[in-house]
Amino acid sequence: MTPQEIAAFVDALAAAVAKGDEEALRFAAAMAAERSRNGAAGSHAFWQRLAGGGYADEASLRESAGAVGVRLAPAYVAVSLEAEDATGSQTTAELRRLALDVFASPGNDVAVLESAGGIELLVPVAREVDASNARTAATLLPKTIAKRKLPLRVSGGVGGAGPPISAPQHLQRARNALAIGRRIFGPGRVHVHDELGAYTMLHGGASAEQLRTFSASVLGPLRDYDRKHQTELERTLRLYFSCGQNVKTAAAELNVHRHTVFYRLRQIAEICRSDLAAPHDQLTLRLAMAIDALHT
């Protein structure tokens, strides 16, 4: 039907309904239900195709979204969730209800797709603060479940935030974060891909260029701080690790008081957002410095 024919049909149907025509009322209800089913099926197919990398460019993606009535957000945060000891469709449905409640967003729908062991989400965000809030809500899911006393134990991963066309890449990062987190830290937690440091690189393998990029991203904040404030934080960290984390020896090498080393180490931890006593954070920092030494 052409748009003019559809408009004429709607006008005629509205007139019949206004007169109290019961048959017209039943027909209108059936049409609405069918349209609802078709719209839901169409939008689900759209999200599945997007998640699978089925769109070559932004234009074709937006055209398909418009055709099925999907209103795209500026960006999406990818989340992959699995229920541990899942008992079947009932568990998946419970996980879906929880996710839709936690990530509900006015104006844009959360896309939910079923995966092999759980669900995957594309959470709409408009600003970086929205993306940060979505990441925080995801990592707090285990606590939310415990607070609500739900019969679920969830593991998960959070990818990055990006425009709709980049959803497949961010979903893969979310899956990787789920796999890494479960293997390294155990089940029942949700991890953000970009906060897993060296593990993401070790999990997927990396080229020489990716290694250099990783090293620069880890050591960059320290170098920027040193340049701006004429400090020696990077050198202090290298000496601290090379002398077996002995503060007294590091202070002697730097020709400063040991209290100065302690102060610098606190600065380094804050700037790098790391716990220098944590083996996992040490791995990231030590590997970044080793890569830098090999490739510089």
pLDDT at 94: 86
Domain boundary among 196, 229, 254: 196
Same domain, 250 and 186: no
Question: Which residue range(s) make up the domain with 232?
Answer: 205-295
pLDDT at 92: 81
260, two tokens: 């100065």
Same domain, 177 and 99: yes
Mean pLDDT per 10-residue section of the chain, whose length is 296 residues: 46 61 58 46 87 92 90 94 71 86 82 87 93 95 91 92 95 94 92 90 83 92 96 95 94 95 96 92 93 85
The answer to whether residues 239 and 205 touch, using CB atoms and an 8 Å cutoff, is no
The per-residue DSSP string of 199-219 comes to HHHHHH---HHHHHHHHHHHH
pLDDT at 18: 64
The answer to whether residues 221 and 294 touch, using CB atoms and an 8 Å cutoff, is no
Q: Return the CATH number at 118.
A: 3.30.70.270
pLDDT at 38: 44
Q: Give me the phi and psi of 154, to 5 degrees please.
A: -115, 140
Model confidence pTM above 0.75? no
Same domain, 79 and 159: yes
Number of domains in the chain: 3
Q: Return the CATH number at 227.
A: 1.10.10.2840
The answer to whether residues 289 and 219 touch, using CB atoms and an 8 Å cutoff, is yes
Same domain, 190 and 216: no
Domain boundary among 46, 65, 84: 65
Domain boundary among 65, 96, 118: 65
The DSSP element (H or E) to which 76 belongs, if any, is strand 75-83
Same domain, 97 and 210: no
Same domain, 76 and 181: yes
